[in-house]
Structure formats: structure tokens, C-alpha cells
């Protein structure tokens, strides 16, 4: 089991630690509902240093990324980030990721922790052009500082005007006494804030200064359990649940990051799928009766006929109701459609809704 550079601090803080993607990670500190509320109303800090970072450089860097990614990376300007996915050759998704354009011929790819080796092998296999690839995953830490008070709480730590960094843009600047830190206006919570990339040797100083600066703003450490409830309230996909090797980006509602203005892995058959239409769709739903939907629960129609499967579900702390995502047949995918979730062999009524569930 690997530790992040901050695992000892989480243990000192009394975090409940669990194995996740080969790392010893904090799942909760004071409890998921309290931590969730901290991020929605104030500011919370996640250690997500288990995530993977690949640096792709050289004259062939863009060619390689355009080939393996579904979105059009040529549209990025320096200091801009882009949500993306790596399609496989059989209609599914290798992983979803964020691509950062550092400058011409220099890109940072941030991938899911559980897929670091898989993604590295996949991109390497496709690197016939000969771009230079470096796996920085073991050397870099990542803190997500999230919540409506994040800008105000963190401004004293940098000379960069945080309020001027637009969503999905970033600056390389001083932060918490460290030079050349990536300050990125990205996150997985829907409550605003930043993600901070620095070296493992620097992250403890950053963590300590972040908590010092945020003291008067109600800052708290947040675990992976609340990260999941926060992202689910926004309808954000989680790899391994809502998207995987067998789900197409079009079925998953990721057509907006699937650009047929260029060729990429499996683009021809995905284009065909777009023209012919998908047979199932990833939807959001809210329970209209008491209950908590869970991953892999069956979805049925009013006659009890199977129409799909739940991919993510929880009791939403901000909404105080059961919510979830799942794949259903296209005929049952329109908003306001009544569906039923089989919870302990009992059909519990739900309604298809547009995401995000949490409107903020």
C-alpha cells in the first residue's frame, strides 16, 4: 500500500483511512455529511495526490494527444485546461482525464489513480509519432481546495489574483511560499475553488499554510466519501462506475467532449453511433419515495421489466433525498419519465431528471 506525502498528517487528524487505487487514503474525518456541507458553504481541502500526472512534450506531443483523446486539444491556449476522454478501440472508454496546455509542445495529462498504469500503457502503445512522455505521478502531489470561500481564504498565499483565474484555466505562480506551483480553477465538487499541483517535498508546507490561511473561514480537511457525494450531486461521471471500458462517450452524455472535427481512436465507429443513435443513455434520477439507490441496483419500468442499471447512488446531503445515475433504454431516458429502482427486491419510484441535481 502506497502512502501520499500527507498520509501521516491524515492519521494524526484521526481520519478513517482506507485502501483506494493502491494508496492509503482518508475516506472521512468528522463524517461525510458535515464534510460535504463544509465544501458547499465554506472551504474544504482534499488530498488527491493519488491521481496520475503525465508530461507529454516535443514537436509530436499534440499529434499524440489528438490521436488518443476525443476532445479537440488544438483549441487550447497556454494556461487552459480541458476535460477529455481516452476512447478505446471497441467503443468504450480507457479513462477520463484533464489535459493542461502548459505551452506549445508541452502538455500535462491528469488521469485517475486506479488507471495510471493502464493509461500510461495505452498512450505509449499509441505513441508511434515519438512524443516524449514522462510519468510524474510518483513525484507530484495534488490538493483540491474547494468551496465558495476558497478564493477569499487562499488569496493571502499568492501574488496571483485568484478571482481572475477563469474556470478551467490555470496559472503557474507562487503559492504558500513555493515558486512554480500550478493553481488550477478546476475541481470535482461544483462549489468552485482550485486544485494545487506541487512536488511531494513541498506539499506539507503548502498543506500547513493553507490551513493557517483558511482558519477564519471554517476550513476543514475532507475525505473521499464527501468527494463522491459532492461530485454525484453535480452529475459528474466517476470512472469505474458511470463510465468504463464498455460505455461509449455518447451513451454517457459526453458527446460535448467528442469532437469529430479530427480523427482519433475509434472515431469512425463513434461517428456512426452518433448518426444511428445510441440504444441506452446515462441519466440522472431522484427517488420520489424513501430509499437509497446503490451501484448495480436494477432499474425497471412500471410493469417490472428491466430497463437498466444504477451506476452511482447516494442520499444527497444537500438535497436530503436519494439520487443516482444509471443507464436506461433510450425510450425511458427523457426527463420526467417515471422509473423504479429495485431496492432489496422492492421497486422504489424515481423520476428521470436533468443534472446537476444540486443547483447551488
Residue positions in the annotated binding site for substrate? Answer: 195
User: Given this model, what pLDDT does residue 176 score?
Assistant: 98
User: Given this model, what pLDDT does residue 62 score?
Assistant: 98
pLDDT, tens digit, 9 for 90 and up, residues 200-211: 999 999 999 999
* Gap between the Cα atoms of 282 and 329, Å rounded: 9
Q: Where are the beta strands (DSSP E) in 126-233?
A: 132-135, 140-146, 170-175, 178-184, 193-199, 220-221
- Per the CB < 8 A criterion, the answer to whether 248 and 257 are in contact is no
User: What average pLDDT does this structure show over 63-74?
Assistant: 98
Give domain 52-135's CATH architecture: 2-Layer Sandwich (3.30)
User: What average pLDDT does this structure show over 307-316?
Assistant: 98
Report whether pLDDT(354) > 90: yes
pTM given for the model: 0.97
- Give the residue from 105, 124, 109, 123 showing the smallest Cα distance to 58: 105
In whole angstroms, what separates CA 296 from the centre of its chain? 20
User: Given this model, what pLDDT does residue 360 score?
Assistant: 83
Report whether pLDDT(298) > 90: yes
pLDDT, tens digit, 9 for 90 and up, residues 188-199: 999 999 999 999
| CATH no., domain 279-355 | 2.40.30.110
Q: Give the whole-number percent of the chain exceeding pLDDT 90.
A: 100
Give the pLDDT band of residue 51 (cuts 50, 70, 90): very high
Give the pLDDT band of residue 72 (cuts 50, 70, 90): very high
Q: In the structure grid, which three cell numbers stand for residue 262, read together? A: 479530427
Mean pLDDT of the chain: 98
Per-domain residue ranges of the chain? 6-51+138-233, 52-135, 279-355
pLDDT, tens digit, 9 for 90 and up, residues 230-286: 999 999 999 999 999 999 999 999 999 999 999 999 999 999 999 999 999 999 999
**Can you spell out the DSSP letters for 57-103?**
ESTTHHHHHHHH-SS-GGGPPTTEEEEEEEE-TTSSEEEEEEEEEEE
Residue positions in the annotated binding site? Answer: 195
* Gap between the Cα atoms of 301 and 332, Å rounded: 8
- b/e per residue, 64-81, with b = 16+ CB within 10 A? bbbbbbbbbbeebeebeb
* Gap between the Cα atoms of 2 and 51, Å rounded: 12
| CATH no., domain 6-51+138-233 | 3.30.1360.120
Amino acid at each position: 500500500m502506497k502512502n501520499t506525502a500527507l498520509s501521516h498528517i491524515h492519521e494524526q487528524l484521526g481520519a478513517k483511512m482506507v485502501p483506494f487505487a493502491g494508496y492509503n487514503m482518508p475516506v472521512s474525518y468528522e463524517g461525510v455529511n458535515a464534510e460535504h456541507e463544509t465544501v458547499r458553504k465554506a472551504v474544504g481541502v482534499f488530498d488527491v495526490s493519488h491521481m496520475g500526472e503525465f508530461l507529454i512534450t516535443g514537436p509530436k506531443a499534440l499529434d499524440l494527444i489528438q490521436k488518443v483523446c476525443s476532445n479537440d486539444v488544438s483549441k487550447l491556449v497556454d494556461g487552459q485546461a480541458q476535460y477529455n476522454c481516452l476512447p478505446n478501440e471497441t467503443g468504450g472508454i480507457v479513462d477520463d482525464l484533464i489535459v493542461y496546455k502548459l505551452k506549445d509542445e508541452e502538455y500535462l495529462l491528469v488521469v485517475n489513480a486506479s488507471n495510471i498504469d493502464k493509461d500510461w500503457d495505452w498512450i505509449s502503445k499509441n505513441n508511434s509519432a515519438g512524443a516524449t512522455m514522462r510519468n510524474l505521478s510518483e513525484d507530484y502531489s495534488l490538493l483540491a481546495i474547494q468551496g465558495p470561500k476558497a478564493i477569499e481564504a487562499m488569496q493571502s498565499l499568492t501574488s496571483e489574483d485568484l478571482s481572475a483565474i477563469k474556470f478551467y484555466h490555470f496559472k503557474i505562480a507562487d503559492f504558500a511560499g513555493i515558486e512554480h506551483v500550478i493553481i488550477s480553477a478546476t475541481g470535482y465538487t461544483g462549489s468552485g475553488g482550485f486544485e494545487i499541483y506541487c512536488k511531494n517535498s513541498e506539499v506539507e508546507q503548502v498543506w500547513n499554510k493553507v490551513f493557517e490561511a483558511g482558519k477564519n473561514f471554517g476550513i476543514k480537511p475532507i475525505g473521499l466519501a464527501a468527494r463522491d457525494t459532492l461530485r454525484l450531486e453535480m452529475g459528474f461521471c466517476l470512472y469505474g462506475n458511470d463510465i468504463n471500458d464498455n460505455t461509449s462517450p455518447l451513451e454517457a452524455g459526453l458527446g460535448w467532449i467528442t469532437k469529430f472535427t479530427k480523427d482519433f481512436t475509434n472515431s469512425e465507429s463513434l461517428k456512426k453511433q452518433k448518426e444511428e443513435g445510441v440504444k441506452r443513455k446515462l441519466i440522472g434520477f431522484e427517488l420520489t419515495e424513501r430509499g437509497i439507490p446503490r451501484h448495480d441496483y436494477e432499474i425497471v419500468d412500471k410493469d417490472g421489466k428491466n430497463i437498466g442499471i444504477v451506476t452511482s447512488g447516494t442520499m444527497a446531503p444537500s438535497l436530503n433525498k436519494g439520487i443516482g445515475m444509471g443507464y436506461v433504454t433510450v425510450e425511458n431516458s427523457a426527463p420526467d419519465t417515471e422509473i423504479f429502482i429495485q431496492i432489496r427486491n422492492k421497486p422504489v419510484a424515481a423520476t428521470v431528471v436533468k443534472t446537476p441535481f444540486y443547483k447551488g
